[in-house]
């Protein structure tokens, strides 16, 4: 008795080759300019940076002895050198990674220091749509974390006082 196993296998293989090689080829065309403008989206693009690491936050919490906050569009800055207040402010950094919205503008920069040396710095975004910190490493955005609800309430209080004082 002859074995016909290779013949069906050979036919199947041939059919597979013809189906993958042949067929209708679609011509790729570039999108015409009018279509491109018509498909322009008004959606806000967001990017995600990772959350700052637990180890780095722990080092800031334990070792930071001075915080400077410089606000960009307000004639006001803050310095904090009391350990419990520093730790409270470090606690305003949520463990949740933030969705960075490029349409939002930073309202200030926070400098975390130890013995006069910069440990890390972060841009602070705080308005109706954006409430997060973007930490810098080697001059580039490295991490983004939401501001906790406690931090949002704290900054709302600070800014309401600054606005009241600046109008008098």
How far lies 153's CA from each of 90, 104, 118, 130, 160, in Å?
A: 14, 19, 27, 14, 11
* pLDDT classification of 101: cutoffs 50, 70, 90: very high
- For the chain, the domains span 47-166
Give pLDDT, residue 165.
43
* CATH numeric code, 47-166: 2.60.40
Closest by Cα among 136, 82, 67, 149 to 106:
136
Q: Cα–Cα distance between 52 and 134 in angstroms, integer?
A: 9
Please, what's the largest Cα pairwise distance for the chain? 107
Give pLDDT, residue 76.
82
- What is the rounded average pLDDT for all residues in the chain? 78
Angle at 58 between CA 52 and CA 59, to 5 degrees: 100
Tens of pLDDT along 57-78? 999 999 999 999 999 888 889 9
């Amino acid at each position: 008795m002859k074995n016909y196993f290779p013949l069906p296998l050979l036919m199947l293989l041939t059919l597979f080759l013809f189906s993958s090689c042949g067929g209708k080829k679609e011509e790729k065309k570039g999108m015409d300019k009018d279509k491109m403008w018509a498909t322009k989206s008004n959606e806000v693009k967001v990017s995600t940076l990772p959350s700052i690491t637990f180890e780095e936050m722990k080092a800031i919490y334990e070792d930071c002895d001075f915080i400077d906050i410089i606000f960009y569009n307000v004639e006001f800055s803050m310095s904090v050198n009391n350990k419990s207040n520093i730790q409270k402010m470090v606690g305003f950094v949520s463990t949740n990674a933030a969705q960075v919205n490029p349409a939002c503008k930073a309202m200030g920069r926070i400098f975390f220091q130890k013995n006069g040396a910069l440990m890390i710095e972060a841009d602070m975004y705080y308005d109706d749509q954006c409430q997060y910190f973007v930490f810098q490493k080697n001059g580039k955005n490295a991490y983004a974390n939401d501001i906790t609800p406690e931090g949002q309430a704290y900054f709302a209080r600070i800014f309401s006082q600054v606005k009241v004082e600046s109008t008098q």
